[in-house]
Each structure stands twice: as C-alpha cells, then as structure tokens.
Amino acid sequence: MNGAHDLGGMMGFGPVIAETDEPVFHTEWERRAFAVTLAMGALGEWNLDQSRHARETLPPPQYLTSSYFQIWLAGLVKLLEEHGLATSDELASGTVRQPARQTRKPQLKAAGVVSAMAKGGPVDRAAPADALYKPGDKIVTVNMHPSGHTRLARYLRGHKGEIASVHGCHVFPDSNAMGLGEDPHWLYSVKFSACELWGGSHRRDDYVFADLWEPYLIGR
C-alpha cells in the first residue's frame, strides 16, 4: 500500500544522519519491545508479512512521529487486538480480564530462545515453474498502487532495470500479508541506475539494487 512507511526517494524529510557507534537498543524498553514482538510472533497467530503490514497501516501522523521501536510496539498492539489475544482495556490497564486462549503454537520459553533464533524463519520454497528472467535481462517494474501490502517501493515503480542475480523462489509477501497463502514466486536482485530513478543530475555510475519478486517485473 502507499503509506507513510514508503519514504524512499521522497523529499522534505532532511538527510539521513548516521549515529556513530549506534547501539542496537538505546534504552531497556526497546530491548523488551523487540523481545515481546518476537515472542508473540512465535505463537503462530500471524506471519512475518502480516506483522510488517500491521506496522505499515498505522495512522500516518502516528507513524511519522514515532521512533522505530514505538512503531514495532504499536504494530504488535494492533495484532493482539485483531487476533483476540488482548483487549484495548487490558492493554491500557495492564490487567488480564479474559481467560487465555489456545494459540497455534506453544509459547516460546526462555530456554528455547537461542535455538529458535538460530533456526530463524526461512522463506525459500520449491519453485512452481522455471524462472522467467536471468542475469542481464532488461525489465521494467509494474506501476501499481495496491491497497494491501507490497515490497515494491513507490520510487521503483514504472522504471527500467536489469536483473543482477536470481535468489531462488520465496514466499510472496503481497499474498502472505493478506492471509491468502504463501504463493511462492522467483525473487531477483534488480539493478537500477540512479539517473533512471531520479533524473540526469545523478552520477551515471551510481546504482540501486532492490530484491523484487517476479510479479513486479515485465520483460522488455
């Protein structure tokens, strides 16, 4: 969807300022927010793409004025309420007011965190068909404005690029985030010239590489 999260290539937000020796977490609550988000995701009530979509669909004023982990926490609150794991009253009061219900997977206990994190959540899948493109092929990205989740950034839509490499077949986030199944598709690294994306004032040897799924691409 075209939301407040899709800021790539937009003007008016100022430069990106890198923090020297930036820590992973600036405060203890950020560490806890990250941990509880992963722990709740391990229950199997939603998938990775649904979690992203929950953050992306926060109201723009809230999204744009929140820090990174504030956005994570707000997205988790949305998911908890939508899936009936907590009510707004419980979250506001910090008091349980309804019986716990069975979840798809058991809770992730402290002893299992290291192995669970090491295992990760692989999203590569068996290919349903041969790949349409190979390195060196010229493509153009589709110009779309979906109401649901997508990983095709606005600033890349409708632009010419070149296949740089093939990553294999992976879960398609546009379908997975909407609860419509994994619908695996081939995933490519696509090379775009900065001049193609933002005009001739940019250096001709500057490029952007983006990982894009096959449905986002049209051969040319």
The pLDDT tens digits for 29-57 are: 999 999 999 999 999 999 999 999 999 99
CA 125 – CA 27 distance, rounded (Å)? 37
pLDDT bucket at 138, cuts 50 / 70 / 90 = very high
Comparing 100 with 90, which gets the higher pLDDT? 90
Is this model's pTM higher than 0.85 or not? yes
Reply yes or no on whether the pLDDT at 64 is more than 90: yes
pLDDT bucket at 74, cuts 50 / 70 / 90 = very high
Question: Which tens digits make up the pLDDT trace of 3-30?
Answer: 899 988 888 888 888 999 999 999 999 9
What is the assigned CATH class of domain 28-119? mainly alpha
Q: Could you tell me how many helices (H) and strands (E) the chain has, helices first? A: 8, 5
Give the pLDDT of residue 13. 87
Q: Which residue has the tokens 């740089």?
A: 164
Question: Which tens digits make up the pLDDT trace of 180-217?
Answer: 999 999 999 999 999 999 887 777 789 999 999 999 99
The whole-number average pLDDT for the span 112-129 is 92
What is the assigned CATH class of domain 138-219? mainly beta
Which 8-state DSSP code applies to residue 6? Answer: -
Domain with CATH 1.10.472.20 in the chain: 28-119
Is residue 121 within 8 A of residue 150, CB to CB? The reply is no
Q: Between the CA of residue 219 and those of 31, 84, 96, 132, 143, what are the distances in Å?
A: 44, 44, 55, 9, 14
Is residue 141 within 8 A of residue 212, CB to CB? The reply is yes
Domain with CATH 2.30.30.50 in the chain: 138-219
Give the pLDDT of residue 201. 74
